[in-house]
Structure 1
Amino acid sequence: MASGLARRFGSNKLLADFGGEPMLCRALAATAGIAPRLVVTRSEEVHRLCTALGVPALLHALPHRSDTVRLGLSALLLGQPALCGCLFVPGDQPLLRRSTVDGMCAAFACSQEKERDIFRLCAPENGSPVTVGSPVLFGRGYFDALLHLPEGKGGGAVLRQHTECVRLFAAGHPAELEDADTPEALQNLLAQETALKKVLPEAGD
């Protein structure tokens, strides 16, 4: 999902430098094991970047989060009508790791109730209240609701209606759930990456 307006960031944050590459490249690396995948964006620059990298991208000019979800899922179903699940990944969580994304998808694949399952990333338990966030993986049973979201709403509207079906999947580190909504947050995540490399070898790869 790369259609945000980045009002708090002040510029196109997905193209902001993060360790020598556009931040969006981190999301692309984290989802490299997924097929099919699709970047949905309102940014011509993001569309050009994805095209140059050989990653399918859908450029649109519609205003709402619900538009992003509907357009992306519709396009995926057009090519894969038997799709059993769809993972929504924001483009602004640069410390999200491929092993986490692959692990969530593998857990979903092993489920006996794929159609009604919703997998959601959470921070590893440390005795504190559980922190939940993105990505979120919806089973096929929710596709119709996702395609007909209320105007301006995202997948969270579906999550709230089906809390009993949500299964949490723990990330390797809490920083994987953090997004870079401001330049200050981006700098903080860069500092965290340096520390993460000491404990999680994959971080930054």
Structure 2
Amino acid sequence: MSDDADAEAEAASARRRTWVIGGILLLLSVLVLVVARGPLAAIAPAKDWLFAAAGVIFAVGLGRAGSVTGRGIIGTASTILCVIAPLTQAFWFGLVPDTLDPHAEEDLRTLVLMAYLAVVTVLALISVFCIGLAAVIPSPWHWAPAWVVVWTPVAYLAGLFVFSSQSPEASLGAYLASYGPAAGTAFLGILSIVLGLRASPAASESPAVEQTLGGLESSDR
């Protein structure tokens, strides 16, 4: 019984460390996105690094029990590749030679962008599907990453549509396109912290403590 309680406490501790730290990193990436303007524009690249660090921590876990993919090979690999993809954009667009005429260069850049987005989309879909099936995160929240994967393009495209409509709400469309996807990231960050705090070792140990106390009361009788 003691070994089982210790193992459960260690698992809860791993989930707490992983989800709280990962959630904080996600929120920091959103914060950088919001404040990286004007004099602070130089810190903008930190957003992608913070997001990548959070994703890797969620995938691998600070302790096996903390991994949201259950450390399954496909889920873990797809999650890591997906979150580090923004760091590779320079490589992708570096494939476009500077010697082309402007029209050909623009067409090739568009093609590279579409290829990049297609790869990221496939990786994201595989990742959230594996996270949902692993069900390491309590139900129904293990599908929350999938919700955000749907929300992100919807928010961006809806924002662009409103912005291009030349309506009085066009400025709202610009904000939705710019910060709508970040709202999904912030949601995951807050959710991760809340779930991590709920997975405290103390909470995991309480059933074992209650059972021990019940056994003592029975023996006294």
User: TM-score with structure 2 length normalisation?
Assistant: 0.27
Greater strand share, structure number? 1
Higher relative contact order (Cα pairs below 8 Å, separated by 6+ residues)? 2
Which protein has the larger Cα radius of gyration, Structure 1 or Structure 2? 2
User: TM-score with structure 1 length normalisation?
Assistant: 0.28
Greater helix share, structure number? 2
